[in-house]
Structure 1
Amino acid sequence: MLTLTNEKVIGTMERIYVSYPNLAGDVVIGNTIMIDDGKIEVIVQDILPNKDVRVKVKLGGIISSKKGLNLPDTKISLPALTEKDLKDLDFIIAEKLDWVALSFVRKVDDIIGIKKILNEKKSKTKVIAKIEMPEALENIREIILESHGIMVARGDLGVEVPIEKVPLIQRQLIRKCLHRGKPVIVATQMMESMIDRVKPNRSESTDVANAVLEGADAVMLSGETATGMHPVLVVETMRKIIIEAEQSEYRYNREEDIKPLPQSPTYISDAVCLTACKLAESTNADALIGMTQSGYTAFMLSSYRPKSHLFIFTKERTLVNQLSLSWGVRAFYYSEEESLDEIISDQIQILKERGFIRKGEVVVNTCSTPVELHLPTNTIKVSTVE
């Protein structure tokens, strides 16, 4: 038997310190507790009056300091934002960071809460919901709608839910995000063997490629670059796998999947974005160019995975960096508000001067008219570069 206590003691085989103060109040007899990403598994046997929790070791091992605790059977009472999180959020706002990822999201109110703080402090930082809890999966539709992006955090997710369910959950989350035009990141243990090796396992290279083929916007490294011996080599190797997968005829194509929904409030804009992508393909366009104030048009165009190069112009400087997270997007700052034809001509000239397009090539522009009303995307124009 092992005792988990909130008393700050030096750990022994009989007793270890756990910093979570509500452990005794949250768990019940029979609950499973996972330690160190599931390497150690214990079952709650008794909850003592002094709030110590007695557990039976089901899967043993060596525990070192500061290892994580997962409670897959338990609805925890820990708030979405702890005092430390709030201090970190103040730093994020002060430094004007582009994105913040909220860990252990359970319900849509968690996202609403952090967005409220950001809005009150006039921050333009966008919010990524890390999906790693069973409760989040139960509320996933609302969480995706409220978040700016999603991270499939497979480490904790694989501890909180049965491991055999993780691959299908990953695939489903990617599809749901693409259908809503939300960027989605696949993270954790992508290339873990390269923490101390110079080549990945065959299964790891397949894992990265599959994330690309399923339609992920980004794949993320963690321990491989944070503490690994070959951080640059890991990035170079992952990049090669991504490029190879993206050149494949088997990569995700949303045009074969779901179409804009007529009942959606963004139906017209969504339909224009889809039509622009189809038009770019049928005209063999070299560039698809969009304009956005909120980022929505950029995220939606990206979600259709156009075959043409995708360029986005925005007068919001923060968006220029934020849009880098979306698949295929190259973003540019542009603040002019002239006539629509002048804006389109100007943007084509900018791309031509920077070497992205050349004379005689076909480009497709999406925009909104009248320009001064800043309406959702409602216009498409096809041009030949002069």
Structure 2
Amino acid sequence: MNGTKQRNTKIVATVGPASSSYDALLALVQAGVNVFRLNFSHGSHEQHQEVIDSIIKINDRYNLFTGILADLQGPKIRIGDLEGDGFPIQSGDLLTFVTEPCLGTREKIYISYENFATDVQPGERIILDDGKVVLQVLETNKKDKVKLSVVHGFHISSRKGVNLPETSISIPSLTEKDLEDLDYILTQPINWIALSFVRTAKEVRKLQEKIREVGHKAKVISKIEKPQAIEDIDAIIKQSDGIMIARGDLGVEVPMERLPSMQKIIIGKCLQRGTPVIVATQLMDSMITNPFPTRAEILDVANAVLDGTDAVMLSGETAMGKHPVKVIEAMTKIIIEAEKNYDLTSKRAKASRKSPTYYSDVICINAGKTADDIRAKGIAGITISGYTAFKISSYRPACKIFIFSNAYPTLCALSLVWGVIPFFYDKFTSTDETIADVTMILKESKAVKQGDYLVNTGSMPLHRRFRTNFLKITLVD
């Protein structure tokens, strides 16, 4: 229904005013959306509930496994309201930021981060309005007031975002608002939870522990948008269930010329660990208003695919854009064309002898290699947790990955993962019967035909649910 059979790279779409109705969501799924992102920086729980209910109805009605990603706001830092429409500033001007709420003037401007004066150091850069304004700390009283010099001026206006790329901030990654939102999220069938402004693996672990405390199955995506995250990237990838390269804030906080290489390096590291990765922010930004993408946007999407990303994510394009369905259709065409030239042989995952899952990893990776060698039509994997699917996908085989599970949340989560087509299956009697069943299901769904080869993998005996420990080649009759 949604084009996944023609492509491997998945599409994540952010829900907003332009896409929150049942009909709009259905149209996006039909166009090719695999996962919907709920941005908890905006909207009430009641509004998000309506969207969740609609997605569930669509999945039930059309027998789909569209995933749901809840994106926590994280510690957003902003300046307060300014007199009038704000005012122009130029290089050399002096400003004072205070942590006591006030109406901003040229004399003093409120900043929402209460530890600002404590955390910043003289010489550090402060960035406003996505890089339009650059300031430098001159002095701080270490209590409630900081004097700054304007390095690059512009028109400064109310409630603009603040980035602190050189400051070691003490604010927790989970704010009070995030915790309130998390309490709600954990009552819902959410598949992925994105943690904003991650700096260390420890922050990721804390969120995972909170999720496990209530017995929820949601997986955690770490958003990479801080320089500190780059410094701890290996540990963060190891701890996380997924990674999002959030190029908006990351592009403000690190030198812009480093973004392309960072994207490639992070994707490569995720492939090696079997960790799903999303490339996000401004992929098709011009289509918020225009019916067609720019040439640069076409190349950006294609390059993300060629880098090996699991998914590409749309934000304003589908949340508030004029052409949400056209965006998905255009992105689908770009992905399909890019995948014709897809070659990640040098980046393919390898099993590490140091890993506690080494033997299972060997089976999963060799399922991909075997499928390529015999030109199989697909790999049919059986999983409960989804681990088998993650690992097989990380090899990036040339065929489709058909994953069977009786765990509905797992199947929805796998809608984010490269090349995976999920199927519900709950008749785990014997290995031979199950292989025969899944082969028949794939044949009836026209995914395979007589004479095709399948590579089967899973655990034996099935009812014991061990780690992946078998691999078999099946000729479809």
TM-score normalised by L of structure 2: 0.78
Aligned equivalent of 2:103, options 3, 7, 10:
10
Q: Partner of 2:81 in structure 1?
A: none
Equivalences for 1:195-210 in 2 at 5 Å? Answer: 195-210=288-303
Q: Distance in 2 between matches of 1:367 and 1:48?
A: 62
Partner of residue 166 from structure 2, selected from 68, 73, 93: 73
Distance in 1, matches of 2:105 and 2:320, equals: 27
For residue 403 of structure 2, what is the aligned residue in structure 1?
312
Matched, 1:337 2:440: no
Shift of 1:355: 2.1
- Distance in 2, matches of 1:28 and 1:309, equals 52
8 Å contact kept, 2:268–2:347: no
Structure 1 residue matching 2:468: 3-state secondary structure: coil
SS in 2 for 1:94: coil
- Provide the rounded CA distance (Å) in 2 between the counterparts of 1:244 and 1:197: 22
Cα displacement (A) at 1:204:
1.5
Say if 1:182 and 1:256 are closer, same or farther in 2 by CA, change over 3 A. Answer: closer
Aligned partners of 1:254 and 1:303 also within 8 Å: no
Cα-to-partner distance string for 1:126-180 (whole Å, 9 max, x where unaligned): 1000011111111111111111000011111111111111111111100000100
Against the structure 1 CA distance between its residues 216 and 322, is the aligned structure 2 distance closer, same or farther, given a 3 Å change threshold? same
The alpha-carbon distance between structure 1 residues 261 and 158, as it changes in their structure 2 partners (threshold 3 A), is same
Structure 1 residues 298 and 201, CA gap change in structure 2 (3 angstroms): same
Runs of 4+ residues deviating >6 angstroms: none
Q: Structure 2: any 5+ residue segments left out of the alignment?
A: 1-93
Q: Please point out which of 312, 328, 351 is paired with 1:219.
A: 312
Give me the CA root mean square deviation.
1.6
Q: Distance in 1 between matches of 2:137 and 2:369?
A: 57
Percent identity of equivalent pairs: 50
Describe the SS at the equivalent of 2:167.
coil
Q: 1:381 matched to which residue of 2?
A: 472
Please give the secondary structure, in 2, of the residue aligned with 1:297: helix
Residue of structure 2 aligned with 1:100, choices 166, 169, 193: 193
Find the residue that maps to 2:155 and give its secondary structure: coil
3-state SS, counterpart of residue 155 of structure 1: helix
The equivalent residue for 1:265 is 356
The structural deviation recorded for 1:310 is 1.1
Letter in 2 for 1:229: K
SS at match of 1:336: coil
Counterparts of residues 1-386 of structure 1 (less than 5 Å):
1-48=94-141, 51-248=144-341, 251-254=342-345, 257-386=348-477
Tell me by how many angstroms 1:213 deviates: 0.2
Asked if structure 1 preserves the Cα contact closer than 8 Å seen for 2:272 and 2:347, the reply is no
Q: Which amino acid aligns with 1:64?
A: S
Equivalent AA in structure 1 for residue 448 of structure 2: I
Task: Give the structure 1 partner of residue 42 of structure 2.
Answer: none
Any idea what SS the aligned residue of 1:299 has? helix
Paired with 1:280 and 1:70, the residues of 2 have a C-alpha distance of 47
Report the count of equivalent residues.
Answer: 384
**Any idea what SS the aligned residue of 2:359 has?**
helix
CA drift of 1:346 comes to 0.8
Tell me the CA shift for residue 305 of structure 1. Answer: 1.1
Contact 2:102 2:110 in 1 (8 A): yes
Gaps of 5+ in 1: none
Does the CA-based 8 Å contact 1:214-1:252 persist in structure 2? Answer: no
Return 313-322 or 44-53, whichever deviates more: 44-53
Give the drift of 1:292.
1.1
User: Equivalents in 2 of 1:18, 1:295: separation in Å?
Assistant: 43
Residue 96 of structure 1 and its aligned partner are, at CA, apart by: 2.2
- Note the alpha carbon deviations across 1:314-336, whole angstroms, 9 max, x for none: 12110010000001111112222
| CA contact 1:255–1:304 (8 Å) conserved in 2 | no
The Cα shift of 1:75 comes to 0.4
Contact 2:348–2:395 under 8 Å retained in 1: no
Query: C-alpha separation between the residues in 2 aligned to 1:327 and 1:256?
Result: 14
Q: What TM-score does the superposition give when structure 1 sets the normalisation length?
A: 0.95
Mapped contact 1:276–1:380 kept (Cα < 8 A): yes
- Residue 338 of structure 1 aligns with an amino acid whose one-letter code is T
Partner amino acid for 2:306? L
Asked if the contact 2:458/2:469 (under 8 Å) is kept, the reply is yes
- Once the two structures are superposed, residues 223-282 of structure 1 have per-residue CA deviations (whole angstroms, 9 ceiling, x without a partner) of 22223232222222122111110111xx24246645222232222111112211122122
After superposition, the C-alpha distances for 1:83-103 in whole angstroms (9 at most, x for unaligned) are 000011111111121111000
Describe the SS at the equivalent of 2:105. Answer: coil
- Judge which range, 320-329 or 302-311, deviates more: 302-311
Query: Structure 1 residues 171 and 196 mapped into 2: Cα distance closer, same or farther (>3 Å)?
Result: same
